[in-house]
Amino acid sequence: MEPRERVLTSLHHEEPDRVPRDIGSLPVTGIHAEAYSKYLKEYKDGELDPNQVEIEDVIQQLARVDDRILEEWKVDTRGVWANPGSDWELGIDEDQSHYRFIDEWGITWGMPKRSGYYYDIRDNPLSGEIEREDILDYPWPDPADTYRVAGIAERVDRINAERRYFISMTGLGPGIYELSQWMRGYKDLWIDFLKRGELAHAMMRKITDLKLEFWEMALSEVGHLVDTVYMADDIGNQNNLQISLETYREFIKPYQTEVFHFIKDNSPGEICLFYHSDGAIAGAIPDLLEAGIEALNPVQVSAAGMDPGRLNAEFGDRLTFWGAGANPHGTLRNGSLTELDEEIKSRNDIFAPGGGWVFAPIHNLQPDVTPEKIQTIIEAMDKYGGY
């Protein structure tokens, strides 16, 4: 069975010849450049230069995994990433302690020079005392700039001329809620939910409109080449939702639903809606299904209420679980190779039967994941990733 057919079969809740795999196609299924470099040095030194790792995602410092490695790992997916707008160019400044840059949204990011692994937000451009007009008059990026999809068709043609692989595509920044948090600041947005609902709605409306403009352009240009689109809105913490379910339903769900339905209605072919949220989100899954999601990532089974058996029993007939494969808070950090092997077997036993599972680690492989553990993940899926 070819990789694309394998993923599509599982998405249709049927069993392919083996469990499909995703490592590296999306900003939440990737591998940190440091972990990838160590892996190359340990297992591929002489074939690939561990000191010449390309960065795919600057903020998270994710590596661009070489296609030869993806083939060796039997990864069924390939990713295409939308570009920033044509009028923005990455420029990294530095002082004695940090590297910094301002993205196309006007958000300032910084990474410590010493023991820094990622960029974090240092300034939210619409924080503080603002009015609705400040949102409307802000110099937002042009979402319909066709440069955002420049090179995607060529990339797909190079890696997928025969439609072998399942193609995942990123969009215009993170999700509606998450981008609102980045622009407004987490605390200010949450206060808006409580005290200035009209301001929160104005922010959500504006970002929704930007998303709709982007997807109208992107789907008309490259939609026929893409199998899934990536959405990310972290609505969960370790023990519960970030906000109440009532607040989610009032301020976020309607806008997500609008964008999700627009994508499905305007896609030239079958397209899967991939949704990422960390944390304890089991209580919101029925609402997310109503909004239109079809695949859920990363399935953080270490969070409260996210027991894998319960999730699969309750939602496995309607939802594809895209993740759940290995725990970054447990076995990937502190467990033995044997414990990691056993964890992957256990997850396969739960999620694989009947289809509806795409294996991926629970979020990106972090800098502290050893080469041996990466290799163990691949070998464990070779052993257990059947039906």
What is the average pLDDT across 148-173?
Answer: 94
Q: Is the pLDDT of residue 299 over 90?
A: yes
Say how far apart CA 286 and CA 308 lie, in whole Å.
16
Q: Is the pLDDT of residue 286 over 90?
A: yes
Q: Is the pLDDT of residue 161 over 90?
A: no
Please tell me the predicted confidence (pLDDT) of residue 336: 97
Model confidence band, residue 385 (pLDDT cutoffs 50, 70, 90) = very high
Q: What is the CA radius of gyration of the chain?
A: 20
Q: Is the pLDDT of residue 45 over 90?
A: no
Between helix 371-384 and helix 33-43 the angle, nearest 10°, is 80
Query: Mean pLDDT for the chain?
Result: 97
Please tell me the predicted confidence (pLDDT) of residue 225: 96
What is the average pLDDT across 191-208?
Answer: 98
Q: Is the pLDDT of residue 175 over 90?
A: yes
Residues comprising the chain, all counted = 387
Strands (E), 242-282: 272-276
Task: Convert the pLDDT of each residue in 73-104 to its tens digit.
Answer: 999 999 999 999 999 999 999 999 999 999 99
Sign of the four-CA dihedral 248, 250, 252, 256: positive
Other Cβ atoms less than 10 A from the Cβ of 208: the count is 18
Yes or no: say if 266 and 213 are a contact pair by the CB < 8 Å rule. no
Q: In this predicted structure, which of 305-314, 322-331, 376-385 has the lowest mean pLDDT?
A: 322-331
Please tell me the predicted confidence (pLDDT) of residue 321: 98
Strands 55-57 and 62-63: antiparallel
> Sheet of 295-297: strands edge to edge?
77-80, 166-169, 228-232, 272-276, 295-297, 320-322, 357-358
Yes or no: say if 88 and 58 are a contact pair by the CB < 8 Å rule. no
What is the average pLDDT across 50-54?
Answer: 95
Task: Convert the pLDDT of each residue in 241-270 to its tens digit.
Answer: 999 999 999 999 999 999 999 999 999 999
Please tell me the predicted confidence (pLDDT) of residue 83: 97
Model confidence band, residue 46 (pLDDT cutoffs 50, 70, 90) = confident
Yes or no: say if 236 and 276 are a contact pair by the CB < 8 Å rule. no
Q: What are phi and psi of 59, to 5 degrees?
A: -60, -45
Q: Is the pLDDT of residue 387 over 90?
A: no
Please tell me the predicted confidence (pLDDT) of residue 162: 85
Model confidence band, residue 138 (pLDDT cutoffs 50, 70, 90) = very high
Say how far apart CA 368 and CA 370 lie, in whole Å.
6
- Domains of the chain, CATH where assigned: 3-89+143-174+212-384 (3.20.20.210)
Please tell me the predicted confidence (pLDDT) of residue 278: 96
Yes or no: say if 242 and 281 are a contact pair by the CB < 8 Å rule. no
